[in-house]
Amino acid sequence: MNPEPAIIPAARPHRLTALLRGLVADPRSAIGLGLVLLAAIAALGAPLLAPNDPDAPDFVNILVAPGPSHLFGTDDLGRDVLSRIIYGARASLFVGFLSVAAAAVAGTLLGLVAGYFGRLADAVIMRVMDVVFAFPSILLALAITAVLGPSLTNAVLAIAVVNLPVFARLARAQTLVVSRLEFVEAKRALGFGPVDILLRTVLPNILAPVIVQGSLLFASAIITESYLSFLGLGVQPPTPTWGNMLRNAIGFLELAPWLSWFSGAAIFLTVLGCNLLGDGLRDRFDPRD
Amino acid sequence: MTRYISTRLASLVPILFGISLVTFFLIRLVPGDPVIALLGLEADENAIATLRRQLSLDQPLVLQYLTWLGRILTGDFGRSIQGGREVLPLLLGALGPTAILSGAAIVISLAISIPAGIVSATRRNSLADYVCSFVALCGLSMPSFWLGVLLIMAFSITLPWFPSSGYASPLLDPLGHLRHLVLPAVTLGAALAAATMRMTRATMLEVLRADYIRTARAKGLSRRAVVWGHALGNARIPIVTLLGVQLGQLLGGVVITETVFSWPGIGKLTVDAIFARDYPVVQGAVLLTATLFVLINLLTDLIYTLLDPRLRLT
């Protein structure tokens, strides 16, 4: 038996181009895309873009105000703030992306299983998700990192766990709809196994809302990462993150206010970009809005 | 309605059970021996044995959980490792300041978001709409601690109007209390206002398209009567729901705001306990906050049902 591909195939290149063209045509999404790309370029090209070593102290030039020698000034150890902001994009985006991706993969699989098999699997999975959802997200992320210890991996894990129920609920609801459609019934009648049906037929058909949700949660994951770092429970110094830079800046609000301007603005603009882009994507996928 | 309430209350039981399980096992996730993690490597044998007994760590896991749950249900949350005070009074003492801060944040948020949302919706695609929507999006994208820091720089340092941190008792020093409250309440209220404004706008747009609004306009009612009398009446249902959800989220938001402004509420207590590795307090605070969160969500659902007569019949 030749396993047929899904009825609605995943995004083909020409659809992706059309999507991008549509996004760029809408000024709101275009600005969002620009801001997100800027952060992504900073993260990927940090070694090439950063004017200085982000970790190299320079005790002769501590707390230098923004100027020609240091565009964003220097911090209390004389480190170049611009270089640290550029390198900081790495941790923020990396944790944000990885945690949402992990939550999306695990949550979608759980939602597929719950929605397709129903009964006990559904009851157990969704009750567990209800319990995770019963905690305010920041509090749960804090508690997890507090118990496991502050590190990049644990921050990813904590933010992924917090976002898991969102994807599980979404995927379950979509699976319930799709798995009753005729083409799924047809595959079942042809004798395909549940793994085949779920991964090859149902999954591609529920992917669009999962991706839109992911893009919206990416922004909140970046904020949560910055909260954890800000509280000292995320990625640890000297590795720069925007959150831990702002934590450090609190001590110098009067002496060196620029320290908190730039790190805060970096988080704000990146999240604003994600939200603008997320709104644009949602409007494109959901024309009712 | 009574049946609905009792069904909803019954559905709380497994959730609260789950919360208690998660909270109980949290402390067991601490790498290594939790007692050593709590007391440090230099702790003497007696203290270790006492705490091990106190936490029931010498018993099987199921028994440990049941003992712990029994204690919690009788109000015994254990003692703080820092200073040995009982956990429950500590938590209850912190609830007051958190309630005041959350209440003030909600008042600020409603005062801004509802009028802004209505203006945006009734004058769709006007300059006012664009400005309100953009400001709301900025509010959503602004990490609350950064807004807090900016407010401190503007209104505590540059213009010394409000204190940057601390707390004054509302009974002993009401004016001082208000002065301390302004900046944290604005910080916390801003994010709330942003989300509520977007919801108000979206809901009003939806409602304004309805047939009965057209009828109301057609029979010559003033714009004000249509918007405030007819449209807002139906738009309030999703807005109240969102507000309930947001109120729950405030319980998370206070963690950050209270830490930035040293506001002695449940959020700051949790963060301080985390850094002091005071796990009984962390456990108690997480349990209490999650329980409150669930109760607020339930209350929101009930209010939602009360507001929408269609749901009362089902």
Domain enclosing residue A214, as ranges: 35-46+71-285
B140 with B191: CB under 8 angstroms?
Answer: yes
User: Does the beta carbon of A288 lie under 8 angstroms from any beta carbon of chain B?
Assistant: no
In a domain, A273, yes or no: yes
Residue, of B235 and B69, whose pLDDT is higher:
B69
Q: What is the Cα–Cα distance from A91 to B314, expressed in whole angstroms?
A: 49
What string of DSSP letters covers A109-147? HHHHHHHHH-HHHHHHHHHHHHHHHTS-HHHHHHHHHHH
- Set of chain A residues whose Cβ sits within 8 Å of the Cβ of B30: 147
Which residues of chain B make contact with A275, given a CB cutoff of 8 A? Answer: 137, 140-141
Query: Under an 8 A CB cutoff, do A127 and B14 touch?
Result: yes
Structural domain boundaries in chain B: 87-313
Tens-place pLDDT, residues B126-178: 899 999 989 999 998 999 999 999 999 999 999 999 999 989 888 899 999 99
Does any domain span residue A103?
yes
Q: Does A127 touch chain B (CB under 8 A)?
A: yes
A131·B251 Cβ contact <8 A: no
Tell me the ipTM for this assembly.
0.85
pLDDT confidence of residue B312 = 60
Whether residue A56 is contained in a domain is answered as no
Which of B22, B142, B256 has its CB closest to that of A131?
B22
Closest by CA to A231, choosing from B188, B272, B183, is: B272
- For residue A267, the chain B residues in CB contact (below 8 A) are 143, 146
Is residue A270 within 8 A of residue A39, CB to CB? The reply is yes
| A165 Cα to chain B: minimum distance (Å) | 14
- pTM for the complete prediction? 0.87
Domain CATH for A198: 1.10.3720.10
Backbone angles phi, psi at A217, to 5 degrees: -75, -25
Instruction: Check CB contact under 8 Å for B138 and A279.
Output: no
Among the four given CATH numbers 3.90.1720.10, 3.30.360.10, 1.10.3720.10, 3.20.20.210, the one describing domain B87-313 = 1.10.3720.10
Is residue B292 less than 8 Å (CB to CB) from chain A? no
Does position B26 have pLDDT exceeding 90, yes or no?
A: no
User: A211-225, B227-241, B249-263: which range is least confident on average?
Assistant: B227-241
Does A64 reside within a domain? Answer: no
Choosing among A130, A147, A230, A274, which should be mutated to test the B contact, i.e. which has the most B CBs within 10 A? A147
CA B141 to each of CA A38, A199, A215, A217, A272: distance values in angstroms, whole numbers, following the listed order: 16, 35, 14, 12, 5
In order, the DSSP letters of A219-254 are HHHHHHHHHHHHTT-SSPTTS--HHHHHHHHGGGTT
**What's the pLDDT score for residue A9?**
47
* Total count of residues recorded for chain A: 289
Q: Provide the mean pLDDT of chain B.
A: 86
Residues of chain A with pLDDT under 50: 1-11, 288-289
Is A181 part of a structural domain of the chain?
A: yes
Is residue B12 pLDDT above 60, yes or no? yes
Number of domains making up chain A: 1
CA distances (Å), origin B131, targets A279, B117, B124, B136, B163? 16, 11, 11, 8, 31
B101-124, pLDDT tens digit by residue?
999 999 999 899 989 998 998 888
DSSP A247-264: HHHGGGTTT-THHHHHHH
- Of the two residues B5 and A227, the one the predictor is more confident about is A227
* Interface check B295 vs A, CB under 8 A: no
Report DSSP letters for B52-114, one per residue.
HHHTTTTS-HHHHHHHHHHHHHTT---B-TTTT-BHHHHHHHHHHHHHHHHHHHHHHHHHHHH
Q: How far is B146 from chain A (nearest CA, A)?
A: 6
B259 at A interface, C-beta within 8 A? yes
Q: Is there a domain that residue A239 lies in?
A: yes
Chain B residue at shortest CA distance from A132: B19
pLDDT for position B51: 77
Min distance B67 CA to chain A CA atoms (Å): 21
B29 CB within 8 Å of a chain A CB: yes
Say if A124 falls within a structural domain: yes
B248 to chain A: closest CA residue:
A136
Q: Is A139 in the B-facing interface, judged by CB distances under 8 Å?
A: yes
Taking an 8 Å cut-off on Cβ atoms, the answer to whether A268 and B141 are in contact is: yes
> Does some domain include residue A18?
no
